[in-house]
Amino acid sequence: MEDERLAAVRARIAVIIEPDPTPDELALVLRMLRGFVARTPGAVDQMLDGFPGKDLGVLRDQAHALKGSAANIGATGLAGLCSALEDQARAGAIADPAGTAGRIRAEAAGAVEAVSTLAEEFAGQRLP
């Protein structure tokens, strides 16, 4: 059975490209997937650096940015956690900071793994 994260990312990419993608579409999707894999760990680290004592406005903005990146690629679990963190930061209090940080790190790692798996599949499709 396919991992839920991988299935969600696969479904999102299927919305973005045609069933029989052109080489240019494959290249675009591959850049998008690889970009997510490359940027997400650093974005999570930056967002959680200084957490929970971090400025809530900065935290809100970083959670919002990561939420958008995750939603765009189909990493719905990570997007949902970032959305909740964004809402809590906007409200002025973070419930269960240690648990929140742990869940975000774990979900980000799972999302990166799923996206990386799909990137490898797309890279294989590009080979002659």
The per-residue pLDDT for range 25-66, each reduced to its tens digit, is 888 899 999 999 999 999 999 999 998 899 999 999 999 999
Query: How far is it, in rounded angstroms, from Cα 117 to Cα 27?
Result: 16
Q: Which domains does the chain have, with CATH numbers?
A: 4-126 (1.20.120)
| Cβ 75 vs Cβ 115: under 8 Å | yes
Q: Would you call 74 helix, strand, or coil by DSSP?
A: coil
Q: pLDDT class for 2, splitting at 50, 70, 90?
A: low
pLDDT digits (tens, 9 = 90+) for 72-100: 999 999 999 999 999 999 999 998 999 99
Q: pLDDT class for 126, splitting at 50, 70, 90?
A: low
